[in-house]
Amino acid sequence: MGNLNHWFDDLNKLIQDSFITYKHLSVIRELKSETKFLSEDFFVFFQYQQWFMLTIQLSKIFECKPRTQQRNIVTLCGKIINGDYTEEFELMLRQSETSSPITYADFIEKAKQIRSEINSHQLTISKIINVRNKIYAHTDIEREMDFLTMDEIKTIIDLAAFSYNNSRGFIYDINTDFTRGIINLTIKDVIRIMNRGLNKKVQV
């Protein structure tokens, strides 16, 4: 059973990382016009790091290269459809104590649904992988990039969450809310604290 659970544990971490980095970039974009220091070198480099992590983690989730991206969702769906996890599914289902009567055949249909959804977003996924390859994995001075919008990134992160909740969530009859992210000291809190400190410094 450990193998399938390891898939879900690793995917959970990758999706959580993606949501957190997306949130960081969204907050900086929201506050940039009213917060001058967000254009300073530190935050420029911070945004570069966040984009780096975001493209790397999303590529791990969606790039179908089992040798290098061992936890991609497409490979997981293929293994489910091929019946690789029949015994693990039955054991996990008994442990889940879900009230919904589901079978491995239902699990296969969910995997097919996930794969279909991924295929419908393949153009955007390819853009993510291309950015990873051309900008972050290799520096190409002559590159002409079709860079991603924040809306496109959010769509693919939502697709990752959809895939997780229709695989592991399907077995345990639960929905994981990845949007919670960091709930204590958020990037918005950090920026506001810094802003107050700088304003007090100017007044003194």
Look at residue 54 and tell me whether its pLDDT is greater than 90: yes
Half-sphere exposure of 110 (CA within 13 A, CB side): 20
pLDDT-wise least confident of 8-17, 61-70, 92-101, 164-173:
61-70
CA distances from 124 to 35, 48, 90, 138 (A): 31, 20, 35, 20
Query: Which has the closest alpha carbon to 77: 6, 166, 192?
Result: 166
131 contacts 144 by C-beta, under 8 angstroms = no
The residue with greater pLDDT, 173 or 109, is 109
Query: Which ranges constitute the DSSP H helices of 63-149?
Result: 73-81, 86-96, 104-120, 122-131
Distance of CA 185 to the CA centre of its chain: 21
Out of 65-69, 100-104, 162-166, which region has the weakest mean confidence (pLDDT)? 65-69
Phi/psi region, residue 40 (left: phi>0; alpha: psi -120 to 50; beta: rest), is beta
- Higher model confidence: residue 111 or residue 98? 111
List Cβ neighbours of 37 (8 Å cut-off, separation of 6 or more): 43, 194, 195, 198
Task: Specify the DSSP class assigned to residue 102.
Answer: -
Cα atoms found within 13 Å of the Cα of residue 44, Cβ hemisphere only: 5
The answer, as to whether pTM is greater than 0.95, is no
Average pLDDT in the chain: 86
Domain spans of the chain?
A: 2-203
Spatial separation of the C-alpha atoms in residues 70 and 90, rounded to whole Å? 24
Percentage of residues in the chain with pLDDT exceeding 90?
A: 52
For the segment 122-160, what is each residue's pLDDT rounded down to a tens digit? 999 999 998 888 776 655 545 555 678 999 999 999 999
Whether the predicted pLDDT of 44 surpasses 60? yes
What's the angle, vertex CA 190, arms to CA 185 and CA 196, rounded to 5? 130
Quote the distance between the C-alpha of residue 70 and its chain's center. 15
Predicted pLDDT at 100 = 73
CA atoms of 74 and 80, how far apart (whole Å): 10
- Residue 69 predicted with pLDDT over 70: no
Q: Which residue has the higher pLDDT, 146 or 86?
A: 86
